[in-house]
Structure formats: structure tokens, C-alpha cells
Chain A
Amino acid sequence: MGTWTPTAAGLVPAGLTQSAARGGIGESVRRPDGALKVTGAFAYSSDLWHRDMLWGRILRSPHAHARILAVDVSAALALPGVHAVLTHDDLPAAQKTYGLELADTPVLADGVVRHHGEPVALVAADHPETARRAAELIRVDYRELPVVTDEASATAPGAVVLHPDRDDRHAYRAPHPNVLHRQPIVRGDVAAAARRADVVVTGDYEFGMQDQAFLGPESGLAVPAADGGVDLYVATQWLHSDLRQIAPVLGLPEEKVRMTLAGVGGAFGGREDLSMQIHACLLALRTGRPVKIVYSREESFLGHAHRHPARLHYEHGATRDGRLTHVRCRIVLDGGAYASSTAAVVGNAASLGIGPYRVEDVEIEAIGLYTNNPPCGAMRGFGAVQACFAYEAQMDRLAAGLGMDPVELRRINAMRQGDLMPTGQRVDSPAPVAELLRRVRDMPLPPPLDTEDPDIRDLPGGLANTSHGEGIVRGIGYAVGIKNVGFSEGFDDYSTARVRLEVVDGEPVAMVHTAMAEVGQGGVTVHAQIARTELGVEQVTVHPADTQVGSAGSTSASRQTYMTGGAVKNTCGAVRERVFAAGRRRFGGDRPAWGGAGLRLDGGKVVTADGEVLATLAEVLEGEEPIDLELEFRHRPTEPFDPVTGQGFGHVQYSFAAHRAVVDVDVELGLVKVVELACAQDVGRALNPLSVVGQIQGGTVQGLGIALMEEIRVDPATARVLNPSFTDYLVPTVLDAPAVPVDLLELADPHAPYGLRGVGEAPTLSSTPAVLAAVRQATGKALTRVPVRPEHIVD
């Protein structure tokens, strides 16, 4: 273990059924698409092209809430080059809405728009510029309606109800129709526990609206097929979930909508909801021509769900010796105009709401609102991020109140294996919270700032030349977080993998076919590694992801290596048994060893437990049909949280990461330079250490982004988005990204394939509060809101 270095060879995996093949698990196998992406040769969904294709364009609402009095498309239709203009009235099927969890989102606005940028009409034309002009020629008469933008306005007496006829499964529990979902969690007796507290701290925190800010805009190509169906090539996170939502709106059976994953330019949750999929299909089916849609950058900012902004209230109590007595909290998440995945985000925020700490007495309430703000849904960290920012700020406040070292306070209360979550779920695999904190604390500190002769690129402000060392104060902060892995609350979260093994020209060759969306996480690399390890075969091809194979579930919730990786491992195991069966049929009569236990596939051969070679794969499979199996794989079941107490075995697995942030702050100008963000994370087992470190570094920087700069600004008066462009939605540049030394811990989770833990999200949690803690230390300011802007530091 120790600090990871890129050259380190993989460790020999523990508990393996198969020996390590070259390019197998544990090695830092390089991505197949890495060089293509770096050199600009990779084909993204926006590069798709088809002979005779048309360009689709979406007309969006300029208002956040308005009644549509009339739509006149005649001028647009009259424009030469325009092939179709569609509105809500043109939708072909009875089903006219869609949604990830609840089908509450209109494909095209039905008499009312509920957020800025909501799709109102579609155009297909022979040139993108023609399509743009045609969209401008569509006349829509709006009557603006009042907007609700926060808890107070959404639940005020007489507030407009955004979805008046709700009959969804959360509606009966919701305290107000503009509250989409509410999840309380109650454990122990908080009132009694609070009386034991020597120190109580409270805090109100605010978390801004972060965007996934992927670089590849929403795009895809729909091609009408001779059978009346459609072939859709699109960048998404879950092909089968898209399919389930698309087909009914088109009035087609699912088999007539064939989907293939196109090159994905980043996702981070922002492609879990549909974007242009249905729109392109509708236009293709209407015109009989292939239709391509590519969002502009502005449209991308308006056209996908963001991370929920949140307001959080916390109360923490502790005895003088630093033991937590109780935690109370209330988390209000703004889901915007449509449900997206708000209910699940509420479940996560509630169940992970107090962090990786042992507390007997807890009262948590999380709610998700319907407002006229932009819809919010999935983003890396999914509800756990907002809570972590607040509970870690509270832990620092509490430490200050107790006069205790903040890391020591965390260590005293750190959760361990066997402890209970506030939901009553026992954490039944390693939970090395204290160990991770110890590791980040013990990593060597970066050298102090050279204030005599600094390189200004190292200073806050950088080459903008704001300081030559004046006004700069260093701060150090710590944070740790807990994230669930996989889909929770009783969801049947399975993955499917098809594996084919055959002999081609005397060489054994395997093919792995799944519907997993490769969004940059490296699944395609890891799946091939797993197949090599499990089948002892070097030549492995990964089939393009499509819906001709069963669902792989979502590329989200840090789940794909666990779930689809697990599915590949599982199917490979079954394929292996077929190989042994074939070998027994052919050779078993002569060699009793074929009947023995512990046969393995290694280096293209069948090998006994003692290492004796029984036959080559070529000999066994010669003249046989290829072995071709498609199997589903499930993690252990979870259960919903009780609607009143929040108790329940809700999560599949937990993952933990800790950060130490070192920052330099120009306290006069309010500018921050993050010097270093050290991370320690338990990954269970690093199937590809290079990929794992990449995930941790990326997640860490995304956490820095929300700490210091990333925010979708929404005008509270009109609910319009003020900065839908990279000019004013700032993401960290290379000069903002600090060194991110990573310390990997590999404690196996006995329930998971290879003992692995999903890694993609946990580092996004603790990065933000660690940066905030460091900036607070440097400035002495309370800083209860992210992103921190210069004026918050200076005022």
C-alpha cells in the first residue's frame, strides 16, 4: 500500500479463483481510448454523421414559469430547408411524459413551462443554421406566472402548486404538494442525549448549485429503420433506462428502439436524465430521415439536471471528552421543476447525513422541493456531498467549542466495522475512518510558501499578478466522508454480462459484451482485465455497448466496477465451468485429474490445483461451438427506509475517503490557491491502480470546484439562469488544480467481487469541506456557504 506511484506493479490479488494473467486485474493497464482522446481523434457523439441527415433543434422557454397561450409554427414551417416542426400536439403516443423515477417531465411543454429552458418545440432542417432560424420563427405567446424558488415560497399559503395532480408514490407522505419527498430518520432519544452534552454547536449552511460541466455536449443521432423502429446512437449513462423512457413516448415496443452508446464526453450524473434522445427520435420518425442533435454549450447548461443546491441546519452535541452525544439536522434540497432523481438524493442525504461517525441518538430530516428553479438530479456524490460539507464544518465547530484538535475529535467518534448507521444498518465490512484520517494527517506537508521570492504562479491570483507575497496566510483543514455504492432502498440493481470464448486460428479469444456506458471511468479497461484474469486468456475484445444485451444498470453510484465488473466475473466463471465440462467430456475418461477440484484457466491452458497442465484451451474447444453466455448479476438485496423512522438495510456498500487541504489565501483580496489536497481512500481492491488514482484525483478537483468557484447562478426574482456558459461558470483550470497525493488502502469487502469498493464518488465528498476548513483556518471567517467567493472572505 503506501503512497501510490504510477510505476508500481499491481499487487498479487488475494482470494482469487484464478491466477494473474498478463493485463489482468491489479495492473495499471492503459485505457484503449486514452491516446485517441488526448490527440483529439476520439469520435464523440457530437461527431456522428449520416448521409442525408437533418439537424434537430429545440426551442426552449425563456421564462421559468409561464402559461403557453398559443404556439404558431407556420413561419418556421415555411422556411426553406425546414422538414418538420413539432409541438406537444404532435406527440404520437398516449404517453407524453418521462422521468428517471417519476414520469413527470413533459417531452414538450403541455400548456405550461415550469423552468427556464424547458423544451417547447422541435425543428428538423437540412442545416443547423436553418434549424436555428426556424426555431426563432416559432411564435409562442407566454403569460408569465409567479415563481417559487425556495422552501419558504414553495410552501407558503397560496403558493402555486407545480404539479397539482400528483399520484406518485411519495405524494401521500409529502407535507406539501411542492415537497416531492421527505425522509426522516430517528434513532434513540435525542432530547435525553442532548441533556448529557457539555458543548452544543449549531450551524446553518448553504450549498450552491453545481453543474457536472462535462465537455462533450448532449448529442446523438436517430436513424429511422425500415421496420418502423429507430436506431439511436447517443452519449448516455444507462442505455436501458433511456430505452424504458423513450419507447412508450414514441409508441413503439422496446425492441424497435435499438440503442448504441456513442462516444461520451464526460457525464458525472448529468446524463442520467434524458436530454435529446426522444426529441431526435420523434423528428427522425416524423421526417423519415436520420436526425442529429447537438446541444450548444448554453443549451447544455439549461438542458440537464444539476446538483441540488441545499440549505442545511445542524446541531451537534458532545461531552467534554469529545464523544458525540447527539446530532439533529434538517436538509432542504431544491429539486427544481421536475423530479429527476430527487427522491433518491433525499434518501442519500438523510441516511448519510451525519457522516462516518458513531452516534446513538439522531434526528434527521431531509426534504426535496419542487420549485421553478432548474431541475436538479444526479451528480457525483448524490446527496452525500451537500451533507458532508455541513457535518464536517460542524465537527470543526465542535472541536473549537471543546478546545480539541479537529482530527482527534473525528478519531474519537470515527465509525468502525460493526457500528450502526442512523438507519440501524450495521456496517459489516471494514470502515477505516480513523485510519484514513491518520494517513492524510501523517503525509508530509508541502513546503511553506517562499514569501521572499515566490513564483507568482504559486500564489493566489497567479499570473494576474495580485500579490508578490503580501496578505497571504496558509491554512490546513481536514475532512472525511461516507458514500454509498450502488443503488439503494430496495432497488433491483442488477447488471448483465455476455461473454463469448472461442478458438480463432488456434488462439483462444474472449469477447465481453455489456450495455455498460463508458463515460470515462475506465470500465472498458477493467472488464477486459477481469476477463483475462478469469479466463486465463490474453486476447479480450470489448464489444460496443448496446441494447442487444441485457441491462448493465447505470454508470453512476460508483457501481460499475462492482456491478458490471461483477457480472463479467460471474459470467466468466460460468464460461469456465463450460470449458471444464467440455474437457471432461473429451479427455476426462483418460485423465482422472479432470474430475478434481480447483481447476484453473491459466495462460490459455487448463491447469490443476497443483499446476499440472491438462490441456490447452485450443485442444478443449477445437471443433466446439463458441461458448457464449449472458447472465445477470445481483448484489445482495437492500430494503427501503421506513417512512417514519428511516430504519432499514438501505445501502449495498459504503466507501470512505479523507482529505487534508493546504491552502494559501490572500486575505486582503479573498483569493485562494489550493496548494495540495492529499487524499486517503479505502478502495477495497484496486483493480486498475492508475484508473483508481485518476478517479480520486478527478473527484478531488471537482470537490475543489464547488468549494471555490463552480455555481449555476439563478436569479431569485425570475428563476432564470444567469451564467449558462463557461465564461461565467468557472471550473478549475490546471493552475487551480493542486497536487493530489493519493494513499490507497485496500481492505477487502467480503460481500463484493474481489473485495473491491466503488471509488468514483467518495473523494468528491471530503474534498470540499477540507478546503473550506483550511480557508476558515487561514481567515478566521465562519464561511457557511459554498462556493466561497472573494467577497465572503474579505467582508
Chain B
Amino acid sequence: MEFLRPGCWEEALAAKAEHPAAVPLAGGTDVMVEINLGHRRPGHLLDLGRIGELSEWEVGEREVRLGACVPYARIVGELGRELPALALASRAVASPQIRNRGGVGGNLGTASPAGDAHPALLAAGAEVEVESVRGARRIPIDEFYTGVKRNALRPDELIKRVHVVRATGPQQFSKVGTRNAMVIAVCSFGLALHPGSRTVRTGIGSAAPTPRRAAEAEAFLAGALAEAGLWESRRAVPPSVAKRFAALAAGACSPIDDVRGTAGHRRHAVGVMARRTFLWAWEAYRNGAEGAA
């Protein structure tokens, strides 16, 4: 196994072009586990650790440009206002040790349906900026996940950063696991209210082959809120609306039975999380909150 240590981004792209099968190494919290278990024996490891810009972020007017290697711990500590759902999701990842190393770039690289960043990114709205020696492109998050542990990256591309839309309303993230910390999601749910566009976005984790949005539920809720003028009045939402939203979110799942949980429980739990996260977010919106609930 050869260990490549590019000193800058251009070198990294060149190395990836030369060795398209090289496995990028960010925090290593997925890569090293796979190597340990013998699931992967790459000919080349491409260490991104020396490329400082990947661990930086910028807060822009409309979006946060989040470097691929920013560890979860920093998202929790420093981006809670701008990216509340992602910060909540980051807080739910693993343990302090893993949160100090792992980050969103790696989560996207693995593209596990159980990755905690995905529902938050889907809900907030995001684009993944990828680059190769051939050029750069931005992949909308909705198009990024292409199958179980598969993503839209081409073999010579690397993830540079993620452009995540800054919160203009309350956001939430919730995850069900069979232990109270350090657990891979049985299923998870992200939700963001976008008062400016009068829309609601969601993300479902671990209840379908890929992370996905609950499009019908989103449309229903946006319609119900608009119809009753609730965005403006900030009045309480009728229980029937929350209930219907939950049912549609559950209906958007296509889960399986596995060692972590049953399909039935996943569908049910997504519904419960959808209702609860929406009610928390709506309560925060009613109280005038802009950012985190």
C-alpha cells in the first residue's frame, strides 16, 4: 500500500488523476475501519491531511462554504447558528474522538444511507463542490447520492467543499439508535423551515437505499402552512397537519430489515421524528427564532 501525501490541492488532484483507484483519506474514521476489517486493501491511500484549506470554512451571505475536512467537533462548536441541523447532526455522530477527526467530506465520500450529515444537508439545501484536473463542478445534494454507499463522484474527482445554505429559519435533526450514544442510525430525520421561500425541506436517513427527501410531505406541509396563512400569523399548526406530515414522511421511506432494526419500526420512527422535529421547529418559528430551534 502506497501512502501519498500531497502538499496542496493541485497535487492532490494530480495524484488522483494518476491513480484513480487511490482512496482519499480525510479523518480516516471510515477508511481505517474498512482497512482493519480487510474490506478494502487499496493500492494507494491519498492523505488529504496536509491541505490546510480543506479544514477551513467561510460564512458567506447565502451559504457556508465548508471545507471537506472540517471535523464535526468544529461544526458543533462554531457553526450552530448558521447550520443548526448540521450542527445537531454532528453532535449526534459517534464519540468525541471520532468527532475530532471525522467530517462531512468523509461522510459524503462514504455515502452510507446511515451517515448523519446527509439528512441535515438535504434539509438545509447544499451543493457539493468537486474537482478534478479536468475542472470543477457543483453537484446539488439531491443528485449526489446514487445508490447504497455510492455517490456521483467520478473516479478522478475529489470533494473540495460543501456549500450549505445558511439557515433562515429553525432547523432540526433527530436520530434513532439502540443506545444513547455512539450508535449508527437505525433511522434519522432532518428538517428545515425556509420562511423566505415559504418552503420546508426534509432529509431521511437510513430508511431507504440512499438518503432522500420526503418530497410529498414537504409539499403538503408548505401548502398547508401557506393556505392557512400560518407563515405570516405564526399561529399554532393544527394537530391534523402535523399528523399528516408525519404519515407522508413515513410513507417516503423504503426501509429494510437488518441487524439494526426492522423496516416497520424505521417507517414508524421516521413518522414520529418528522412530527416532533416539525413541532419543535414551528414552535421556535412562532417564537421568532431565526436560526437554531
Contacts and interface: CB of A to CB of B under 8 A. Distances in A.
Interface of A: 132, 296, 298, 460-468, 470-471, 668-671, 673, 708-709, 713, 722-723, 725, 727-728, 730, 732-736, 789-791, 794-795
A728 B176 contact: no
Interface in B188-233: 188
Interface string B12-25: 00000000000000
Given A466-B174, A709-B179, A736-B179, A790 B37 contact: no
A668 B280 contact: no
Nearest to B88: A465
Contacts of B182: 733
Interface of B: 33, 36-38, 88, 91-92, 95, 172-184, 186, 188, 259-262, 264-265, 268-269, 272-273, 276, 280
A453 B273 CA distance: 19
A790 B273 CA distance: 14
A791 B264 contact: yes
A301 to B, nearest CB: 12
Contact of A462 (B88, B95, B180, B272): B180
A734 B260 CA distance: 20
Contacts of B280: 468
A671 B268 contact: no
A736 B180 contact: yes
Given A669-B273, A789-B265, 20 more contacts: A463-B92, A463-B181, A464-B92, A465-B88, A465-B91, A465-B92, A465-B172, A465-B174, A669-B269, A670-B265, A671-B176, A671-B178, A673-B180, A708-B179, A733-B95, A789-B178, A790-B176, A790-B269, A791-B262, A791-B265
A27 B172 CA distance: 52
A716 to B, nearest CB: 13
A466 B176 contact: yes
A461 B175 CA distance: 8
Contact of B261 (A296, A460, A471, A789): A789
Nearest to A298: B37
B180 A733 contact: yes
Contacts of A461: 174-177, 180
A732 B179 contact: yes
Contacts of B262: 791
Interface on chain A toward B: helix, strand, loop, or mixed SS? loop
15 contacts: A461-B177, A462-B181, A464-B174, A464-B180, A464-B181, A465-B172, A470-B276, A471-B272, A730-B178, A730-B183, A734-B181, A735-B180, A790-B186, A790-B265, A794-B265
Contacts of B264: 791, 795
A736 to B, nearest CB: 5
Contact of A736 (B38, B181, B260): B181
A298 B37 CA distance: 8
B180 A725 contact: no
B178 A709 contact: yes
Contact of B260 (A460, A463, A471, A728): A728
B176 A669 contact: yes
Contact of B179 (A132, A733, A795): A733
Contacts of B276: 466-468, 470
B118 to A, nearest CB: 15
B184 A668 contact: no
Contact of B176 (A464, A722, A723, A727): A464
B186 to A, nearest CB: 7
Contact of A791 (B172, B261, B272): B261
Contacts of A790: 176, 178, 186, 261, 265, 269
Among the interface residues A465, A790, A791, which one has the most CB atoms of the partner chain B within 10 A?
A465
Contacts of B181: 462-464, 733-736
Contacts of B272: 471, 668-669
Contacts of B38: 132
A727 B273 contact: no
Contacts of A467: 276
A728 B259 contact: yes
B249 to A, nearest CB: 14
Contacts of A791: 261-262, 264-265
A556 B95 CA distance: 33
A705 to B, nearest CB: 9
A670 B272 CA distance: 11
A794 B268 contact: yes
A466 B273 contact: yes
Given A465-B92, A730-B183, A735-B181, A725 B37 contact: yes
A465 B33 CA distance: 26
Nearest to B175: A464
A723 B259 contact: yes
Given A465-B92, A794-B265, A460 B172 contact: no
B35 to A, nearest CB: 11
A460 B178 CA distance: 10
A671 B179 CA distance: 8
Contacts of B269: 669-670, 790, 794
B217 to A, nearest CB: 18
B208 to A, nearest CB: 18
Contacts of A463: 91-92, 181
A722 B180 contact: no
Most chain B beta-carbon neighbours within 10 Å: one of A709, A732, A790: A790
A468 B281 CA distance: 12
B202 to A, nearest CB: 15
Most chain-A Cβ atoms within 10 A of its Cβ — which of B178, B182, B269, B276?
B178
A10 B257 CA distance: 53
Which of A470, A670, A713 counts the most B-chain CB atoms under 10 A from its CB? A670
Contacts of B176: 461, 464, 466, 669, 671, 790
Most buried by A among B36, B180, B259: B180
B51 to A, nearest CB: 28
A471 B97 CA distance: 31
Nearest to B262: A791
A723 B178 CA distance: 14
A466 B174 CA distance: 5
